[in-house]
Amino acid sequence: MALFKKRQAGKPGEWYYCLKHGTVEEGPECRAADRLGPYGTRQEASHAMETARERNEEWREDPRWNDDAPGGGGKEA
C-alpha cells in the first residue's frame, strides 16, 4: 500500500483544455502539465488555445517585456 495517494489538482465543475488530447474536460482528468485552466465554463475552455495566442501576442507587443525595443529590457527602474 502506498504511503501517499497521488492526487491530481483541480475540482469537478472546473473546465480544462487538455493539450495532449486536444479536448475539453471537466475536473482533474489529465495531469496538470498537460492542461490549461481552470476555466469557468466549457465554452471558455474550448477557446483556450485562442486565448493563449491572444495573450502571447499582447505580451509580445508589451514594451515592458520587449527586450528588442529601444530602452526596453523587461526591467522597471
3-class DSSP assignment, residue 16: strand
C-alpha span between 72 and 76 (Å, rounded): 9
Res 44: pLDDT: 97
Res 18: pLDDT: 96
Predicted confidence (pLDDT) per residue in 34-74, tens digit:
999 999 999 999 999 999 999 999 999 998 877 765 555 55
Res 71: pLDDT: 55
Residue 2: pLDDT band by 50, 70, 90 thresholds? Answer: low
For the chain, what percentages of helix, strand and coil (3-state, to nearest 5) are there? Answer: 30, 15, 55
Q: Among candidates 71, 9, 67, 5, which has minimal Cα distance to 35? A: 9
Q: Collect all residues with Cβ–Cβ distance below 8 Å to 76 and sequence separation of at least 6.
A: 64
Comparing 75 with 15, the larger pLDDT belongs to 15
